[in-house]
Structure 1
Amino acid sequence: MTEATQTAVVGENTISKMVKAKIIQARQNGLFIQIKNVHDKLRPDGSNWNSRDMNSAKTKADVDGIVKHILAGGMLPAIEVQPRADGGIQKVDGYCRAAAYAVADASGIGELWVPIVPFIGTELEALARTSTSNKDSKINPLEQLDNYNRIRDQLIIDGNPKPSLQDIADVVGVSRQYVDQILKLNALDAAGKALVGEGKVTVAIAVKAVRADSENATALLEEAAKNAEAQGKKKATDKTAKPITIGTPLLLDIHQIGLNLRENISKDAAAVAEKFLKGDIKGDAPVTMPVRDIAMLLAALREGDRQVEDAKAKAQAKADKAKQQALPESPDLGGQGLDDAEAEQLKQEELDRQQEEEFNIPDGAPDMPEIPDEAPDAEDNEDSFAFLG
């Protein structure tokens, strides 16, 4: 068969023109093209459009497995492509498959035509596709981070000046909480990101380190990785790492929600708020806010109520247990001429004083003990904020 060339296409490159020029073969079972005419899609700066690290050990192993499958006569899903302005087509999805086809083609098995299917959609939809199509070979957290950052940038290009976590989550079909976790990896330096990318620490541990001390997060992660290695583990997890102390997750979440609310306050709403602060209007003047931000705040407040009630119950149980214990001997009471009732009263007052000191409840403080350390930690897994679901 005569080898097709890209020079046969004149003017704007399209799939149909390439079919007519026999660069693409239209068969009964789909469209096919020679792998030499399949190119990388590029970013505006000339770098590879693909978020996957094609040089990582995991990706190379995946490609090797696909090559063996091809050489054994196995079939693969079609590569999703777009026409390339300079001729041929460019990949949107299927970079590992294309790399494997290139290896198989170079092995001399004969003329290799690979199945393709046109990708129809916007640039934003193309970015989303790379996040939703990697079921068999998951992209790692850093590759996902790159993709989410690009999706956020594309949302801005498309006219959303302040895309929220929920906007990104809606594009890729995951939870807002998961997007939040991944984007927090932006705070890590190159060494910290490498620990995540190499699988030496989990995303959950990395996020805890960022929240605890973003400037020294890498040092915390290096220590966690060393502890895991000393225990014979390849990856640092909550079970292998020393506890990383962070602020109360719920308070951090509410703070973040407050920041989101502030970012989404319209100029009109801000103007109304300023009038209220000056005393020009009453505080019940209505303003418009995104419903998702209000919903997240209400969900966080509900979780706050639950944690406060749980703390109260535990404090009460502890107090009840203390009262049931035998009262300590009070030698100072002897010889003071007190009858049994008076002595018992002094003992009870001393016990109450000790309990008050133990719970750190100052005089006049509201009956609301601090949230204990054993309160649910929203960062115990890689998809935290379960109470918001």
Structure 2
Amino acid sequence: MTAGDAEFSVFFALPEANASFLSTAPYVILPYAAMLALVHGEDLNCGGMTADSVLLRNMRCALEEVVRAHSGFRVPQIVNLTEAPVVANTSGQTGVFFSGGIDSFFSVLRHRKGGDADGAQWIGPATHAIHIYHTPEPVGIEAFETLAPLASAVDALGLSFIPLQSNYMTADRCLNDHWADLAHGAGLATVLHLLSGGLRQGLIGSTHTWGALVPWGSGPISDPLWSGRRMQVIHDDAAYDRVEKTELISQHPEALANLNVCDTRVDGKGYVNCSVCPKCLRTMLTLDLFGKNERRTAPAFDWSNYRPAAFARVFLRTENDTTFAFAIRDRAQTADRPDIVLACDAALRRGRFLRPIARIEDFVKNSRIGRRYRRRLVEWRRSIYNRLGFATRS
């Protein structure tokens, strides 16, 4: 692929046992390629390929929504391709993205066969859990062996596990910089289209709720617009906030034993939660609300140094972080947990006071200097945060 002045390759690799899920249609890469063109301010040249006309129409609408929500971008023109009708996929199964985090465990628990789905849209049963193993280059089948705990958890819940290696999140620096806030929904949709040889529906776990939506790479408006005739992309489910999702997970020991919040891999161990970073503390604080606050009840975390007041040290950098803290605070008030309320109040005050620092960081990150010295700047920031007593990853 070519973007800006750079040429690079994107790969996807999965076990041979899952090879039947792969689609041979070249247009499955289009959501990813369109977002790549958007962040570089270029048009998308498709090289004369023939593409699903329904996907193309939906994709143009998705790009319009992305540009509406994020200023400073323009909708790329999609050129040099032929639109054609594609036979609908009516016999495939349903996949759900599964990182092991709160949002993905919630979707798995709700939509597995015999799951906890209530009056929301009936989708299931979900049959396959898709896990993306991000890596700059293929690392062989042994990498999948470290995912055994997640695979076992999925198997216990009645789903089949599809692990997939790819560098598509980090292959291009510009796209990677906008991955979370702008592009990851299109990236996940691309994986679903890639697997449309065996799947016909795919669920992307929600991040925000109706009434509290913020510009983000995945959402209930944009995600379904990445659908085509052979793949329906479903956003699941903006009617539930993170606290409600955690409440459901707190009732399932198999989920509590395998939560992956940090998304940090340790050689030979797979995913390990640090139990001190903002995401870990936020999750532990919420689990505490539901009485899961020790290794016996929530073994995915180290509770030896946990106390609710530790959340007061968290720097709520973004509107995203602030929304989650308010949701925890509201539930803590209902549950008569003044210690958690006080911790959330302190974190929210700190966030308001320090928000200008976050804006400066974002400006530097997106500058030429920031792009060139990214790793060094991240290390400096972490060191400074530690000295100031902010909660950061160890």
**Structure 1 and Structure 2 fold alike (TM over 0.5):** no
The answer to which structure has the higher helix fraction is 1
TM range (shorter): under 0.3
Larger radius of gyration: 1
TM-score under structure 1 normalisation? Answer: 0.25
More strand by share: 2
More contact order relative to length (CA 8 Å, sep ≥ 6)? 2
TM-score, normalised to structure 2's length?
A: 0.25
